[in-house]
Chains A and B, each alone.
Chain A
Amino acid sequence: DTAVSQTPKYLVTQMGNDKSIKCEQNLGHDTMYWYKQDSKKFLKIMFSYNNKELIINETVPNRFSPKSPDKAHLNLHINSLELGDSAVYFCASSQRRQVAGNTIYFGEGSWLTVV
């Protein structure tokens, strides 16, 4: 069973569209994350939720909205997609909300291409 699963794995869409990426973890973890990895492989935190509460909200456009219906799920909705949104989006989870020394488990990524 995949610990952190996200769908879709590949997504090609046109500028201006709205799309969602879904994420589920079956590890029983309290904390979930969205990371963005750009074309240069730079991995950067976008959001973090702990028990459905937003605890990290980095400077990302408000076109990006995370939603956590329960602690096992953290979905990412993106409005009005732009070319610069093309990247790999990783969902992740960890047992505790403190990142230091806390293993973060990543999903396999969702490759978003905006054309």
Chain B
Amino acid sequence: QKEVEQDPGPLSVPEGAIVSLNCTYSNSAFQYFMWYRQYSRKGPELLMYTYSSGNKEDGRFTAQVDKSSKYISLFIRDSQPSDSATYLCAMTGFNQAGTALIFGKGTTLSVSS
């Protein structure tokens, strides 16, 4: 079993839909959880960061972490065509040098107008 599992999609939704993107993980030591967005032919950019369990909201984006289930989610409300991209979850266990981020494979989202 890979450390981080993420359904690659593709996921196609109409404009205005609520999108739910998810990752599961196996390492109970993970405490720091991030979502990156990657447009085609571009590098990933940080969208959301969450520490431990709970929710975090930023505009139309909400990140949720359920450590008991080892499950994280990113919700996008009122999705826009500009949200069409690949979304990668990333996580790590310890806030120390020499620790790498572990990425999921990414979910490709397409929002049609």
Contacts and interface: CB of A to CB of B under 8 A. Distances in A.
Given A98-B95, A100-B32, A101-B95, A45 B100 contact: yes
Nearest to B95: A100
Given A41-B86, A100-B31, A107 B43 contact: yes
Nearest to B91: A100
Query: What secondary structure prevails in chain B residues at the interface with A?
Result: loop
A24 B97 CA distance: 21
Given A4-B43, A103-B46, A109-B42, A50 B32 contact: no
Interface string A27-43: 00000000000001111
Contact of A104 (B31, B41, B46, B86): B46
Contacts of B51: 100-101
Contacts of A107: 43
B6 to A, nearest CB: 10
A108 to B, nearest CB: 5
Interface stretch (B20-28, B64-72, B76-84, B101-109): B101-109
Contacts of B32: 99-101
A112 interface: no
A27 B43 CA distance: 16
B31 to A, nearest CB: 7
Contacts, number: 68
B74 to A, nearest CB: 16
Contacts of A103: 46, 49
Contacts of A92: 43
Contacts of A100: 31-32, 51, 92, 94-95, 99
B45 interface: yes
A97 to B, nearest CB: 4
B113 interface: no
A41 B8 contact: yes
A108 B41 contact: yes
A58 B94 CA distance: 17
Interface in A101-115: 101, 103-109
Contacts of A105: 45
| Interface pairs A-B: 4 shortest CB-CB | A106-B43, A100-B95, A100-B32, A97-B97
